[in-house]
Amino acid sequence: MKTVFLKPAALSRQSLSYLALGLLLALLLGSSGLALLALTGWQTAPEVQLWQDPWFWQVLKFTLWQAVLSSLLSVVLALPLARALVMDAQLPAKAAFLRWCLLCFVMPSLILITGLVVMFGFTGWLTPLLNRVFGDGWSLYGLTGILLAHVFLNLPLAIRVLTSQWGSIPSSVWKMAAQLHLTGWQRFLLVEWPALRSVLPALLGFIFLLCFNSFAVVLALGGGPAATTLEVAIFQALKYNFNPSEALFLAVTQLLVAGSCFWLFSRWGKLEWLAPATAGQTWRPELSTTSRWLGRVSYLLIALYLTLPVLGLLPTAMSQGLAGLPWLKLFKASGWSLVFALTASLLAVLMALQLTWVASNQQQVGTPQKISGLTRLVPVAALHHLIIPGMVLSVGLYIFFMPLINLMDWGWLAIIWLNALIALPFAFSQLKPAVFTYQASYQRLAASLALPLGVYWWHVVLPYLKPALQRVAAIALVLTLGDFAIFGIFGQPDYTTLPWLIYELAGSYQLAAAALASLWLLGLAFIGLMLLERK
């Protein structure tokens, strides 16, 4: 019998690979496991009585209702505009508008909230006009403000997804429909609807999930107990009332509902929103006069809707002069925000790269069964944080570690780690296609060259993956830069971030300072967008 000896270097490299992967999977799954353990491990009874409390059912009902309305409004309003962006060649500045849509979708919600308060609040620019139209009963706070903010944040996502779907219809299909002299309604049913049908349920489900887990918007614009969601109720129970049993019960409820929604959403398909959107670059049939004007009016109104809250920040920020603004607080909060965001986004990208690389190796012929079995956990570890809302994860870990360590000293570490976990699903899903394409196209050739590991990664892998890594790092940076929920649980006054500073300034009616901080945060997010869209 022939004995096979492994080289020590190869054995050591393989062992280190197993160890690194096992450690990463343990950290990812262990974080969620500890949070769930804390959520399900209480022994007190008062929180069970919430099932019989009308307040609990009112909170759950409002949470579901605002999410349903927000998702329906976002998709319905996006349909005519997305069609016009693809079909109407005379619409101006389409590429710039689609880039602005991407910025609006990833925009930190506190920027939007400040802009809405400036435009529609008690002393807002448009409030007198709205009082004339709706009477003196107009108020931004409550369901109205929540819907305005959620539609602002999610309508751009719907526009980009639907524009991509309409634009994916080949020119040959449009030409064949024209040769068959199909009417506009027949063309929609036979050509356009099949392309939309595959993405509409997933789009509605994804936006519903985002709105269901919304925190900053509801906290700032809810206006009272009648407009409270589960996420806000968890925060109030833990941060203000310090009632862990109530917070745990609400968190379990949110986890069950959000997990069920994600399960349905994952069965409905996937969305492509990060790729550069292209509209109107191939032959399209002429629109009817009604459809053309409907699209153009939608374009004008939605463009105004997506720009006015941001433009309204400029004069408000300058209204008290530059000298009276809290520059020291702004610079300090900017520094902490960048430290947290850069560290968390870098960590998310590194974890996504390792997980996608391991997952892609599973697809290669001849992969040992041991590695294949281990990599079955990779997609679960990378994506399951979409199921667990950030507030649930934060509350669970807060409760678990509260009796063990001083969270006032170590809260900053939790902020970085949890933000990395929240950004990981987006980084993994966007990096996965590039890594899988590389492995399928060049892995065998690169292996035949027998390059040293460092040379192989520095001169072969990283140059190929650089565009994808750049996009993923930028989106992770923008997402973590706007964190509000996690800081609300673990944050301390010693290291306030920009979103929390904006919330404090707006809450104390310092709108000029809040507007300046919002514009500053928007500038940082715009830099991330430039990196994201850079070719």
- Spatial contact of 231 and 213, defined as CB atoms under 8 Å apart: yes
pTM: 0.81
**Six-digit token string for 163:** 């524009």
- Spatial contact of 153 and 74, defined as CB atoms under 8 Å apart: no
Alpha-carbon distance of 73 to 52, in angstroms, equals 32
Neighbours of 296 (CB within 10 A): 17
Alpha-carbon distance of 126 to 393, in angstroms, equals 39
Domains (ranges, CATH) in the chain? 19-35+54-533 (1.10.3720.10)
DSSP letter at 385?
Answer: G
Q: 161 vs 52, 209, 284, 296, CA distance in Å?
A: 41, 16, 19, 19
CA contacts within 13 A on the Cβ side of 533:
17
pLDDT tens-place values along the chain, 535 residues long: 444 444 444 445 556 666 777 788 888 888 888 887 876 665 444 456 777 778 888 999 999 999 999 999 999 999 999 988 888 878 888 888 988 888 888 888 888 888 888 888 877 788 888 888 777 677 888 898 999 999 999 999 999 989 888 877 777 777 777 777 777 777 778 877 888 888 888 889 889 988 998 888 898 888 777 788 888 888 888 777 777 778 778 878 888 888 788 777 777 666 655 555 555 456 777 777 787 888 899 999 999 999 998 888 888 877 766 666 678 888 888 899 999 999 999 999 999 988 888 777 655 544 444 445 566 778 778 887 777 777 778 888 888 888 888 878 888 899 999 999 988 988 888 888 888 887 777 777 776 777 776 777 777 778 888 888 888 888 888 888 888 888 888 888 888 898 888 888 877 778 788 888 888 888 888 887 776 656 5
